[in-house]
Amino acid sequence: MVGMSTHTVAGVLDAARHPEMDVIHPLINLKGMGIIDGGVEEMLAAIREAHGAGMLVYGMKALAGGNFVPNREEALRFIFDTPEIDAVVVGMVTPLEVEWNLRFAAGRPIPADLARDTELSSKRLSIVALACDGCGECVEHCENDALSVVEDKATVDHERCILCGYCAPHCQRLAIRMV
């Protein structure tokens, strides 16, 4: 099998034109966070084209690097309800996240204590240094002065950060995560 992973609409469309490609692993989520060259509608159209060409589609970043954890049911339902997406990869950090995700994916009840567990909702903003190019877009959109650029990388002042997430959509490299 031959496959590729991409954060771009152009990458999905290019792959769809190559019959030797079997699997495409595109970034897709409820709001299109992290898509480099378009929005969610453009990516969905490209995914439909690739799937129509016979490719398996394994979505990634359904929770946008953790930014949609507070709305994880809506975010995952969006992916599961998109018929052209054959599978999804969901990053998980704790055993509770694994349990919650498996129950949700299987359509099994989620106990009230698991649904409200603080470990699932106690997230922190993190910057993936390898992905950050220090452009400062996130800093410009942080309304709480919790972000700055130090030595060409964004950094977080966790005392000021209220996890509003307003900075994340402005990071074209998807370097901002809720972990």
The SS3 of residue 59 is strand
Structure tokens belonging to residue 90: 């969901």
- 62 has a pLDDT exceeding 70: yes
Q: What is the pLDDT of residues 66-95, one digit of tens each?
A: 778 878 899 999 999 999 999 999 988 778
| Spatial distance between the Cα atoms of 47 and 13, rounded to a whole number of angstroms | 8
Q: What is the pLDDT of residues 14-41, one digit of tens each?
A: 999 999 999 999 999 999 988 889 999 9
How crowded is the C-beta side of 11, counted as CA atoms within 13 Å? 17
- Using left for φ > 0, alpha for ψ between -120 and 50, and beta otherwise, residue 107 falls in left
Secondary structure element (H or E) that encloses residue 25, with its range: strand 23-26
| Spatial distance between the Cα atoms of 112 and 114, rounded to a whole number of angstroms | 5
Domain boundaries, given as residue ranges, for the chain: 3-91, 125-178
pLDDT at 121: 57
Residue 14 or 174, more confident? 14
The SS3 of residue 69 is helix
pLDDT at 177: 86
Q: Are 8 and 37 in contact (CB under 8 A)?
A: yes
pLDDT at 156: 95
Question: With DSSP H G I counted as helix, E B as strand and the rest as coil, what are the percentages for the chain, rounded to 5?
Answer: 35, 15, 45
- 132 has a pLDDT exceeding 80: yes
| Spatial distance between the Cα atoms of 73 and 41, rounded to a whole number of angstroms | 20
Q: Provide DSSP, 2-18.
A: -EEEES-HHHHHHHHT-
Query: Given this structure, which CATH class describes domain 125-178?
Result: alpha beta
- 104 has a pLDDT exceeding 80: yes
